Amino acid sequence: MKYLVALLMGFMFVGCGEDEGEPAEGDRSEQIAALSADATAGEATYTQVCAVCHGPDGTGTATGNSLVESNFTKSMIIDIIIEGQGDMASYASLPDQDIANVTAYVMLFQE
C-alpha cells in the first residue's frame, strides 16, 4: 500500500509539471496584484462582504480579527481573499478587480 501511495504521489508531481493549460491560483494572485486598484471602490466591497466579520473600521468583531495591527503585504492579502484562511472562507468568486480594490482598501487600515 505504501508503495502504491508513493507511486501515485510520483504521478501527481509529474502531472503538476505538465500543467500549463489552466492558470494556477498563484497566477491569478499575480494578475490581481498587477491591476491598478481603487481603494475607494474597494470600500463598497469591504462594507458588503468583509465588514460583518472584520468590523466597519477594520478593528474586528467576535467573528473576525482586527486588520489594523496586521502587517500584511498586498500579495498576502490577495492570497487570503482567494484561498481563505482558518475560519475565513475563500472569496475567490469575487471578480479580480474587486479583489484588487478591496485589498487596497484593507491596506489603509494597517498601522
Residues that bind ligand HEC (CB under 6 A): 49-50, 52-54, 63-65, 67, 70, 72, 77, 80-81, 85-88, 91, 102, 106
Give me the DSSP letters along 17-40. Answer: HH--SSPPHHHHHHHHHHSPP-HH
Nearest approach in angstroms of CB 80 to ligand HEC is 5
Nearest approach in angstroms of CB 54 to ligand HEC is 5
C-alpha span between 9 and 2 (Å, rounded): 11
Of 31 and 49, the one with the shorter C-beta distance to ligand HEC is 49
Of 28 and 91, the one with the shorter C-beta distance to ligand HEC is 91
3-class state of residue 88 by DSSP: strand
Contact 86, 65 (CB under 8 A): no
| Residue, CB closest to ligand HEC | 86
